[in-house]
Amino acid sequence: MELIESLNGALNYIERNLLAEADSAKAARHVGLSRFYLERTFASLTGMSISEYICARRLSLAAQELLSGDAKVIDLAFQYGYDTPESFTKAFTRFHGVTPTSARRMSTLLRCQNPLAISLKMEGAIVMNFKLEQMDAFTVVGVERVFHMDNSMQEVPKFWAEFDAKGLAQKVVPMFGICFDGDANGNFPYLIGEPLKPGQKVEEGLVTREVPAFLWARFACVGAMPGAIQDMTKQIYSEWLPTNGVYEIAQNIEIEMYTEGDVTSADYYSEVWIPIRKK
């Protein structure tokens, strides 16, 4: 329940500061969570990023004010955090389906994102198979790219496709896909690679990273990629972490472990590893 309270605390902070500089980094600091953990959990529960939620709330309020008064579009643009009327109009049209001018001039249906409040509900129809394993620190070697939390679910699979297309499996075995902790702007490094063997030469273009010693919760995942592993990750953050009552995430590292086989097969096996500690 502590996690749910923290999430709602973050949402309340965002709502109070909606017309100021509300973002996930400030909301996370306000409730004592890391930005990575807040973003991952929020996206798993709602299906959208925090920045998408903030944008939807602002554009919903802007539409209400547009229809109920005589505020100028330029004033609404600056009030709701846009640098120019043009950028506001573009965002407004993308969200509502009509321009601000058209929305005011004619009767039309507009979208409304109400303030969110998160609560637990009964889930668990899909059984989660996992084991706990204490592991020593180890080094990984691979190809790394930086992604943003807002679009990583779309962009990381493209990185894998590029990895395959370039034949990079000749240089490094794609056993792991690892999300490391991000920066204050929501960017985080993602590495495709393998454990570094003693005496193994690090080829040009590859990087190494240390994975600390932790107690890991290793969740079994069966199904075609990337959907199966994305669904399992969502289930971990939306069900297991908020409700297990004993463990919490220990550090912002998340490991996807892949096996040999056809990744498009319905019985393809993979795992998601989360570092944990007792609360």
The tens digit of pLDDT for each residue in 189-223 reads 999 999 999 999 999 999 999 999 999 999 999 99
| Residue 186 backbone dihedrals phi, psi, to 5 degrees | 90, 10
What is the residue-wise DSSP string for 46-108? HSS-HHHHHHHHHHHHHHHHHHHS---HHHHHHHTT-SSHHHHHHHHHHHHSS-HHHHHHS--
Complete domains list, the chain, with CATH: 2-105 (1.10.10.60), 130-278 (3.20.80.10)
Question: Does residue 176 have a pLDDT over 90?
Answer: yes
Percent with pLDDT over 70 in the chain:
97
Rounded to an integer, what distance in angstroms lies between the CA atom of residue 138 and that of residue 160?
A: 23
Tokens of 278: 């007792």
Q: What is the mean pLDDT of the chain?
A: 91
- Which residues neighbour 17 within 8 Å (Cβ) at sequence distance 6 or greater? 26
User: Tell me, what's the pLDDT at 106?
Assistant: 72
Percent with pLDDT over 90 in the chain:
73
CA proximity to 128, closest of 251, 220, 16: 220
pLDDT band for position 53 (cuts 50, 70, 90) = very high
Rounded to an integer, what distance in angstroms lies between the CA atom of residue 11 and that of residue 128?
A: 28
CB 223 within 8 A of CB 272: no
pLDDT band for position 86 (cuts 50, 70, 90) = very high
Residue 218 CA to its chain's centroid (Å): 19
User: Tell me, what's the pLDDT at 125?
Assistant: 52
User: Tell me, what's the pLDDT at 107?
Assistant: 66
